[in-house]
Amino acid sequence: MTTHGQNQYSQSLWYLRASLLRWVAVLIRLWPAINQQFNKSETVMRINKSVLWSFFGLALVQSLGISGAHAQQSRQVPAYDQAQVRTVLDRSVFYLPLFGAVYRDKFTALIPNHPTVRGLVIHNHGCGGMWGWETTLAQFYYREGFAVITPEFVTREGNKLGCPGGSTEEMLRQAGARAREGVYTAVNPARLDARGDDIAEVIRWFKTFSNLPIILSGHSEGCRTTYHWDRADPQIVGGVCHKQSVNRQYEHLWKWDTRLPMWSSIEDEDPWAGGSKQYPAVGFAEKFKDHPENLTEFRYPGNSHNPLVRHGEARSLGDWLNNRVTKPLQKEQNGFNYEDVLPAVQDAVNRHSR
């Protein structure tokens, strides 16, 4: 067994033992009260022993259920219907180098006329939906010369968050509850398939007016969305995974073609990535064992789930991006005059409103 496999096996055993010990502790506390309800006859003692073993059996089943959650099959709901891709562009925010956030018609009109755009990054949010971090990451990407589209998946009709809550602590607890329910959670392959449908529709639309290279990016559940992608497209040149793991519970989701380069950031003790001091979060090295040259991993001995906050992290990703595209980074206008392309933007707006 590989070291990676031994670590996963040990972690599963640890979870099993911990669950059994919790049940034993409950039995120890309750046993005096249980005994008081019965006479001390031989028959009743046999019943008590039977109850004890039943509790042990239940503990074992629950423990195995935890470690076996990775085998979950797809569970469909209307929110995951492929027909819902029709609204994905209405659920997306668009960014351009030099301009920042722009509306869709301006994005469409300027891409063919923008001299500094090096490629497109499609960035996917985490289990809580689109918050400020999507803007932070989009700013990083467009300052590196990339157009950016950030689709929001959770606003599909009837959809739910993978981690609802009014605080980080509550969201982390609720993420566990949603995982056990097995529907509105990344553990459910149907959810990531549906997110892949949204991405595919964004790509289809983008290719109607541009042949620029495309990079898939994601944070947390969005990272899992990225490594679940298996729809070959020559325009896609790589993937970016911010602060997520491929631990045992989620291993069934991995579909990424490791012949494509990937940049990954991960922190050893990130609770959102299943990491702890005793069992660090599981990275992607084992997945890339046949193509180790295609994985660039930024690992940090910390517990932050926030992307691009560690010293050297942004520079590592920037260097990786430079190797994915041929066009060099241009941070200045270099003679680009917005008024020269205003007619194209005006025409796009008027055409859309007619």
The verdict on 311 and 336 lying in the same domain is yes
Say how many domains are in the chain. Answer: 2
Q: Are residues 64 and 98 in the same domain?
A: no
How are beta strands 295-300 and 262-267 bridged, if at all? Answer: parallel
CATH assignment at residue 248: 3.40.50.1820
What pLDDT sits at residue 20?
46
Does the pTM of the predicted model rise above 0.85? no
Question: Across the strands, what pairs with 120?
Answer: 147, 214
DSSP annotation string for 14-77: HHHHHHHHHHHHHHHHHHHHHHHTS---HHHHHHHHHHHHHHHHHHHHHHHHHHGGGGPPP---
**Token output for 288:** 């890339």
Q: Is 261 helix (H, G, I), strand (E, B) or coil?
A: coil
Band the pLDDT of 30: cuts 50, 70, 90: low
Is residue 165 very low, low, confident or very high in pLDDT (cuts 50, 70, 90)? very high
Q: Is the pLDDT of residue 5 over 90?
A: no
pLDDT at 32 (0 to 100): 53
Are 220 and 329 contained in the same domain?
Answer: yes
Indicate whether 154 and 182 sit together in one domain.
Answer: yes
In the numeric block, the tokens 């034993």 are attached to 24
* pLDDT score recorded for residue 28: 47
Same domain, 107 and 18: no
Q: Is position 30 within any domain?
A: yes
Are both 218 and 255 inside the same structural domain?
yes
Greater model confidence, 207 or 6: 207
Residue 141 has pLDDT above 70, yes or no: yes
Same domain, 170 and 35: no
Does the residue 353 lie in any domain? no
Residues 189 and 248 both lie in one domain: yes
pLDDT band at 73 (very low <50, low <70, confident <90, very high): confident
Structure tokens at 257: 């073609």
Structure confidence at residue 333 (pLDDT) = 87
Is 123's pLDDT higher than 50?
Answer: yes
Same domain, yes or no: 206 and 335: yes
- Boundary (domain end) residue, out of 49, 70, 91: 70
pLDDT digits (tens, 9 = 90+) for 180-197: 999 999 999 999 999 999
Residues 175, 49 share a domain:
no
pLDDT in tens, 206-259: 999 999 999 999 999 999 999 999 999 999 999 999 999 999 989 999 999 999
User: Is there a domain that residue 352 lies in?
Assistant: no
Exposed/middle/buried for 135, CB within 10 Å: 0-12, 13-18, 19+?
middle
Mean pLDDT over residues 9-16, rounded? 41
pLDDT digits (tens, 9 = 90+) for 252-310: 999 999 999 999 999 999 999 999 999 999 999 999 999 999 999 999 999 999 999 99
Asked whether residue 168 is assigned to any structural domain, the reply reads: yes
pLDDT of 312 > 70? The answer is yes
User: What is the domain range of residue 60?
Assistant: 3-70
Of 42, 70, 98, which residue is a domain's last? 70
Quote the CA–CA distance of 247 and 238 in Å, as a whole number: 22
Same domain, residue pair 34 and 117: no
User: Same structural domain for residues 63 and 151?
Assistant: no
**Greatest CA separation for the chain:** 96
Mean confidence (pLDDT) of the chain: 86
Mean pLDDT of 22-36: 50
Q: Which among 53, 70, 87 is the end of a domain? A: 70
Backbone angles phi, psi at 110, to 5 degrees: -85, -25
Q: Is residue 348 part of a domain?
A: no
Question: Does 96 have pLDDT greater than 50?
Answer: yes
